[in-house]
Structure 1
């Protein structure tokens, strides 16, 4: 069976659209709130002291249910649905690649994060083996080059459209209307609309073996960031931060749900040299 047929079968089983007539459901919802700007709030309890635990006891009203991912009769796709709903919010790696033949590809991947800073290391997960690789993974394995771009509110519709299962000869850049900007150290362009982009090169990869079928069904690629591109109004003079008011990042939640980043709070990391002197901490240690 071809990779495209495998993908089609998997998508049919997933039934991503939970609404039936999605367009009707979306039109029934309130309009996008343009006037909601990123802002800071306090934490829920600014008087919290060591040993206090959670700020609510509601969790005590509900027991936790153990779910064996390998339980007899449990479809691995059920684990997929559960994990994308539970491990949230997830950053979306908007990945640009180019084949040796010069065909450009652009697609979003929510199995993406950075895992080290020196050197800058990122990982991306693909739900396919190398043999069954679709365009993005195939291009990375073939050329070893890519860019990772952060998705923001002002182009989320175009970014989502690149997730369509277009054939390899179709460039998602063209059908989405997004702007390719030339990279400096890799061949694939980065996304002009993105406020933060990373040029990257392949370091290594690892295939995952299904415990149900015994066959390779997933691939992890580890890449090194070799160049950054930052929108000038989103950063500081030393290029050490990004302003969330400008970045307006979009995250992936469960199912087909996305999240906006509209508010935050700040918390200092406790210094044990200071904390061990507090009376609350001394009482805890004396027990």
Structure 2
């Protein structure tokens, strides 16, 4: 509903391509029919105490970076972090006290517990007024978190447009609002998985005297999930497993890049007793048994 969802001016990034439409047209079309496949793990023959395959690059040294160095720009930390940490994307629906609706994507997002279901959303510091989503959460304490899938990414991206106050992100995106059960904000019907949430705490990230120095501060919203909504063809009979092939989640990477989840592998979590019983894995030798 306003321009506050756009990237704040200190974070405005120059386009990677002068003519992205031309670059886009030169690439292979997106194939939504490609299946999700499962392969072996990277090194099925790995043994306890053995050299990981990544050690082949151990001769390369590392560079130490101080994020608070006097000559280091804030935008440099931003670029480094988003290029080094793949992030799930939450598409958050909120509502103002006046009834105005808001939709905004956030990649500073994660689930941190299941009992109770708890999530965090991070809000970067802004030179202008706080994001609508942050203000709405602080004022009403309610939201819906919609997980972003492949088929809706263009619509989600459209809600980041720097539009005049009063413009509806719902109309911009063409997405369909659906009533929620426990909160006023509506969920996105096109989302395979949505979570109704209530704000537990909004923690201001006032580090290194930012507020005292007159600088904007970020914030961390801690949200409790009150209801889950899963598309009926994507959930199993026991209502506890979402089909990856139906969810088709995306991750946000560096710059303007996104990643698909198209190939997976399985690796069971080890149990000490079971692993010790397997004489071929090298664990007994490492433990001196």
The structure whose RCO (Cα within 8 Å, separation 6+) is larger is 2
Query: Does the Cα contact within 8 Å between 1:129 and 1:219 map onto a contact in 2?
Result: no
Cα distance, 1:63 vs structure 2? 1.2
Determine the structure 2 residue equivalent to 1:110.
107
Cα distance, 1:44 vs structure 2? 1.9
Determine the structure 1 residue equivalent to 2:67.
69
Query: Does the Cα contact within 8 Å between 2:8 and 2:126 map onto a contact in 1?
Result: no
Cα distance, 1:7 vs structure 2? 5.8
Determine the structure 1 residue equivalent to 2:195.
198
Cα distance, 1:133 vs structure 2? 1.2
Query: Does the Cα contact within 8 Å between 1:130 and 1:207 map onto a contact in 2?
Result: no
What whole-Å deviation, never above 9, does each CA across 1:86-140 have from its counterpart, x for those lacking one? Answer: 111x110100011111111101000011111111111000113698212111111
- Secondary structure (helix, strand or coil) at the match of 2:111 reads strand
Q: Which residues of structure 1 form unaligned runs of 5+? A: none
Determine the structure 2 residue equivalent to 1:46.
44
Determine the structure 2 residue equivalent to 1:122.
119
Distance 2:209 2:85 in 1: 23
Q: What is the TM-score of this pair, normalised by structure 2?
A: 0.91
Cα distance, 1:166 vs structure 2? 2.2
Aligned with residue 205 of structure 2, among 181, 205, 208: 208
Aligned with residue 179 of structure 2, among 172, 178, 182: 182
Determine the structure 2 residue equivalent to 1:134.
131
Q: 1:10 to 1:146 in 2, by over 3 A?
A: same
What whole-Å deviation, never above 9, does each CA across 1:199-229 have from its counterpart, x for those lacking one? Answer: 0001001111253854342010101000010
Cα distance, 1:270 vs structure 2? 0.3
Determine the structure 1 residue equivalent to 2:284.
282
Higher mean alpha-carbon deviation, 134-143 vs 121-130, is at: 121-130
Distance 1:225 1:284 in 2: 43
Q: What is the TM-score of this pair, normalised by structure 1?
A: 0.91
Cα distance, 1:18 vs structure 2? 1.6
Distance 2:127 2:136 in 1: 11
Determine the structure 2 residue equivalent to 1:226.
226
Determine the structure 1 residue equivalent to 2:29.
31
Query: Does the Cα contact within 8 Å between 1:130 and 1:219 map onto a contact in 2?
Result: no
Query: Does the Cα contact within 8 Å between 1:155 and 1:193 map onto a contact in 2?
Result: yes
- Secondary structure (helix, strand or coil) at the match of 2:136 reads helix
Query: Does the Cα contact within 8 Å between 1:210 and 1:216 map onto a contact in 2?
Result: no
Q: 1:123 to 1:68 in 2, by over 3 A?
A: same
Determine the structure 2 residue equivalent to 1:242.
242
Say if 2:253 is the partner of 1:253.
yes
